[in-house]
């Protein structure tokens, strides 16, 4: 059995990634923080794709919760290890910095950066022992270019990209790849409330992307043929950021 964990797998991009990984033969561990009904729908899609999986609830930004949950899983599955980790959980709390409450700054950075640390740090030792692992971090074009009204989100995703590059160098000799994908506007709950008609005029491809288009790239990075790609960032943005 090959195990994969997708944080924020209950909805949007994370859900599409779970289904893609199931199609690739993985047993998929679907993480979410609140939305159990949506996580159950993802699990159903994983099963329809012909694989099994389970739900693992934790808040990625809560180190104690993450440790307890993952250690319990590891104790219950001796001899098994999670070889694919997709750090996908994320939120946005947009505002100009001059008006941004501290809580919105902290929450966005905590979920993205502490979340990356909390989960990755726990799963790395077993990947290193087995000399195989695939880590994909869900960044954003906001972390590459910086977007006004998203200083917190740009900082978080830019930090995640830098962490991707640093960790890739640390673990490349253990046959573990660490990459990031940087979506532009993707049709999920996260972009609800945005003016799609106006925004798509700023996108060379003239449309928002789909979660499945992002999941295809994650699937490629996770696959065996991508073993020589590490520390890289792949944009999926219809030409928005080049």
Q: What residues line the site for ligand NAP (CB under 6 A)?
A: 7-8, 10-14, 31-35, 38, 59-61, 88-91, 111, 138, 140, 183, 185-186, 188-191
Are 53 and 22 in contact, with CB atoms under 8 Å apart? yes
Nearer to ligand NAP, 23 or 191 (CB): 191
Calculate the CA dihedral of residues 171, 172, 178, 179 and round it to 10 degrees: 150
Q: How far apart are CA 17 and CA 21, in angstroms?
A: 6
Q: Residue 11 in 3-state DSSP? A: coil
Smallest gap from Cβ 173 to ligand NAP, in A, equals 28
Q: What is the full DSSP assignment across 191-222?
A: GTTS-HHHHHTTSTTSS-B-HHHHHHHHHHHH
Which position among 3, 153, 228, 241 bears the catalytic label? 153
Query: Which is nearer to ligand NAP, 132 or 155 (by Cβ)?
Result: 155
- Comparing CB distances to ligand NAP, the nearer of 191 and 226 is 191
Least distance to ligand NAP, CB of residue 230, Å = 20
Cβ distance 42 to 57 under 8 Å? no
Q: In angstroms, how far apart are the furthest CA atoms of the chain? A: 52
Identity of the residue, 80 or 91, whose beta carbon is nearer to ligand NAP in the bound complex = 91
Phi, psi of 14 (to 5 degrees): -60, -40
Active site residue 153: yes
Give the shortest CB-177-to-ligand NAP separation in angstroms.
19
| Active site members | 153
């Amino acid at each position: 059995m090959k195990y994969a964990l997708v944080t924020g797998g209950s909805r949007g991009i994370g859900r599409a990634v779970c289904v893609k990984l199931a199609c690739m033969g993985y047993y998929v561990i679907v993480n979410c923080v609140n939305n159990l009904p949506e996580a159950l729908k993802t699990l159903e899609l994983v099963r329809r794709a012909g694989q099994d999986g389970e739900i693992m609830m934790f808040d990625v930004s809560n180190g104690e919760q993450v440790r307890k949950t993952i250690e319990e899983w590891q104790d219950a599955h001796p001899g098994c290890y999670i070889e694919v980790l997709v750090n996908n959980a994320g939120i946005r709390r947009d505002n100009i910095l001059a008006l941004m409450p501290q809580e919105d700054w902290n929450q966005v950075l905590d979920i993205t950066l502490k979340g990356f640390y909390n989960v990755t740090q726990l799963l790395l030792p077993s990947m290193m022992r087995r000399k195989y692992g695939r880590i994909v971090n869900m960044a954003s074009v906001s972390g590459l270019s910086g977007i006004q009204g998203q200083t917190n989100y740009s900082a978080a995703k830019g930090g995640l990209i830098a962490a991707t590059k640093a960790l890739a160098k640390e673990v490349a000799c253990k046959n573990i790849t660490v990459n990031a994908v940087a979506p532009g506007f993707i049709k999920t709950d996260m972009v609800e409330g945005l003016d799609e008609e106006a925004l798509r005029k700023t996108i060379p491809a003239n449309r928002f992307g789909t979660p499945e288009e992002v999941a295809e790239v994650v699937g490629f990075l996770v696959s065996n043929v991508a073993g020589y790609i590490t520390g890289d960032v792949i944009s999926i943005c219809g030409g928005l950021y080049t």
